[in-house]
Amino acid sequence: MTMNSSLSTPTLCIRNFKWDDLERLTALMRELNYPTTLAVMKERMEEMESSPLHCTLIAEVNDKVVGEISLRNVVSYANAEPSTQITSIVVDKDYHGQGIGKRLVRNAEEWSKSNGSKLLFLKSGNRVERAPARSFYKHIGFTNVGYLFSKSL
């Protein structure tokens, strides 16, 4: 008796955002508890996609969008050299623990370096439900520096 195995290893691809990703990207933002709609995400992406200071990378597994990371180059008085901010990063909860977030960050590092950045940083909320994300950031080499203060206008 011959066994024919049709099992295959999932293929992970990290690539730039395409407009076909918009619906799935909107769903991923909702997973982060960012209240948004398809129309709002379209507006945001139009603005970001027209700027060379922004980059959105998509993680695909077997042609299904399962994650994203959004980047923004920052120049400030505080840092003599340009830096890159991760403005969002999310991996579909069904794909956690598979190295996808780590690969997204690795690709973000490459994009940042190619754009002259010497520092990659992000902001993370201190809500209890964000604890796993903060642990992940520390696990892949980020350090916690300072506090974030904000004021609604």
Identity of residue 48: M
Average pLDDT, the chain: 89
Q: 95-134 pLDDT, tens per residue?
A: 999 999 999 999 999 999 999 999 999 988 777 878 888 8
CB 71 within 8 A of CB 109: no
What class has domain 12-139? Answer: alpha beta
pTM of the model: 0.86
Q: 11-32 pLDDT, tens per residue?
A: 899 999 999 999 999 999 998 8
pLDDT band at 87; cut points 50, 70, 90: very high
Q: 36-46 pLDDT, tens per residue?
A: 999 999 999 99
Q: Which residue has the tokens 């520096």?
A: 145
CA distance 10 to 98: 11
CA-to-CA separations, 104 to 25, 55, 84, 131, 146, in angstroms, rounded: 15, 12, 14, 19, 25
Residue 102 CB partners (closer than 8 Å, separation 6+):
140
